[in-house]
Amino acid sequence: MKTSSRLRGLSQAAAQSIVATAQALEAGRPDDAARALAAALASHPDHPEALRLEAGILNLRGQRTQAASVMRRALAQRPDDALYHNTLGSILADAGEFDQAIVELRRACELQADFAAAWYNLGIVLVRCVRYAEADAALRQAVVLDPGNADARAQLADTLKVRGRNDEAVAEYRRILAARPWAGMAWWGIANIKTVRLDAADVEALRAALRDPRASDDDRIAMGFALGKALDDQRRFGESLDALAQANAIARRRRKWDAVAFDVQLGALRDACSSAIGADDPALGGDVIFVVGLPRSGTTLAEQILASHSQVEGAGELPDLALTLNEEAQRRAAPLALWIGAQTPADWSRLGRRYLERTAHWRARKPRFVDKMPNNWIQIGAIRAMLPGARIVVCRRDPLETCFSCYRQHFAGYEWTRDFADLAAYWRSFDRTTRAWYERQPTYVRWQDYEALVVDPQAQIRALLDFCGLPFEDACLRFHETAREVRSPSAAQVRQPLRADTARGGDYAALLDPLRIALGLPKFGDAAHAG
């Protein structure tokens, strides 16, 4: 559909405002976009194209519910416009409403079969739903339609990485960069293979690409994290930290995380779940092992160990728990904390069975499976209520190492990783919540300490298997030999034996004192002196 038809009914000034807004959004600059759109919204508040761009601005700022509501108003006026379905699908995906996002994106592809961006967005959502075969087909269609789509090619290269074909993945990323040296996700794709080192030539190429006017803010963010990894590989720690700070600052300009509001929401959820009367079948969910924790705390390692057992399937980071709870929240037209008290045991059993229905695929080959969505720690109370037979493994690692590792990782949508104060606040919320559930439910909630696992893997692995009700198998000690798809930043690392040299705080020494202070830890010199 031609752009001119979407601008019909606008004054010339408003149309110019719309074009400037779209350009600012494409560059990832919501504040500039909002300023450009103000005049058009004032003169044409109900125009569908003005509403579509307003929804894009709200989404970029993290206001997902408002964004979806505004976009639905726009779509109601243009129900057969593929672009509108694509925009709504993208917003829903960012909000974690993957099922409905897939519906909208498939509709966009049906309405306009040559819509490369819609195929790409569909592929991304299918990846997040662990539907790799469908994702691969959608991404390949995106590349066929738009061979210059570096992000789609980078995603296809990611699928090679998932399968452990790192050399092929790097070669594909390099081909992308040969054509588009500023392709941020290709640079990050290489850097995110933790066992691959970037050299001095890569550093210079990255610095040049960061200056390239064709690079978007998204490219600069991804390249900043890649540059931080490259400089770290060369032990240029101060420069590495500077590159990371710049990348995180660009991301933080878009939207900031509210630590106080997050902790209040967590507390309300924890209190509500504490008094919930759960499912009436105490064995419901006995075939599920949840592995939760902050990113970079050993969740992938714990899953790999468990998935090396003959009775356990490693499913990866499944969205199904959140989707099941979201379905119920939509049905009740209220957030989780407000309807927990009204749930009967039959209601919780219904939700538990709905989750098991959604995840039935993962029990086709083996009787038990691991759901390794790290953020499910937020929902431990809901898990205990709806799946009382499930085991929950909470992965914990040294707080400084965990927080710094998150700061160095390019996480889209994890706004709490952008500065040290937010990282420390998030850690405290995590610690308070998981500690409460561990102390209350030790039979079903286990703390898995990363450092203890490194020191004595055999004892820790035996204890982990015993907690999950699994007989010991030697293959779990040789987890790095297990061939399976792993889609996480630790994919390459869990294909190697355990290493005792992953701590980075000592390398950065006093440079990390601001993070230590935020976490309430001694400064580097004080810690060394105390030791």
DSSP label at 419?
S
pTM of the entire predicted model: 0.81
What tokens were used for 39?
């005049």
pLDDT in tens, 431-453: 999 999 999 999 999 999 999 99
Residue 221, pLDDT score:
96
Decide: 374 and 487 in contact? Cβ < 8 Å: no
pLDDT in tens, 201-247: 999 999 999 999 999 999 999 999 999 999 999 999 999 999 999 99
End-to-end CA distance of the chain: 68
Smallest Cα–Cα separation from 460: which of 469, 448, 444?
Answer: 448
Residue 492, pLDDT score:
47
What string of H, E and C letters represents the secondary structure of 273-328? Answer: HHCCCCCCCCCCCCCEEEEEECCCCCHHHHHHHHHCCCCEEEEECCCHHHHHHHHH
102 C-beta neighbours (distance < 10 Å), count = 22
438 C-beta neighbours (distance < 10 Å), count = 17
Bridge partners, 369 (sequence order): 288, 313
Residue 159, pLDDT score:
81
Residue 497, pLDDT score:
60
Q: How far apart are CA 391 and CA 396, in angstroms?
A: 16
Write out residues in the chain with pLDDT < 50, as ranges.
484, 488-492, 494-495, 529-531
Please calculate the CA angle 284-290-295 and round it to the nearest 5 degrees.
160
Bridge partners, 394 (sequence order): 292, 447
User: In 27-115, which residue ranges form alpha helices assigned H by DSSP?
Assistant: 30-43, 48-60, 64-77, 82-94, 98-111
Residue 274, pLDDT score:
85
User: In 211-284, which residue ranges form alpha helices assigned H by DSSP?
Assistant: 217-233, 237-254, 259-274
Decide: 231 and 511 in contact? Cβ < 8 Å: no
Residue 370, pLDDT score:
97
Q: How far apart are CA 323 and CA 329, in angstroms?
A: 10
Bridge partners, 371 (sequence order): 290, 316
What tokens were used for 389?
């037979």
Write the CB contacts of 213 (distance below 8 Å, at least 6 apart in sequence).
none
Decide: 418 and 254 in contact? Cβ < 8 Å: no
User: In 469-508, which residue ranges form alpha helices assigned H by DSSP?
Assistant: 505-508
Smallest Cα–Cα separation from 370: which of 387, 389, 392?
Answer: 392
Residue 496, pLDDT score:
55
Residue 530, pLDDT score:
47
Q: How far apart are CA 105 and CA 48, in angstroms?
A: 19
Smallest Cα–Cα separation from 321: which of 265, 374, 268, 394?
Answer: 374
Residue 318, pLDDT score:
92
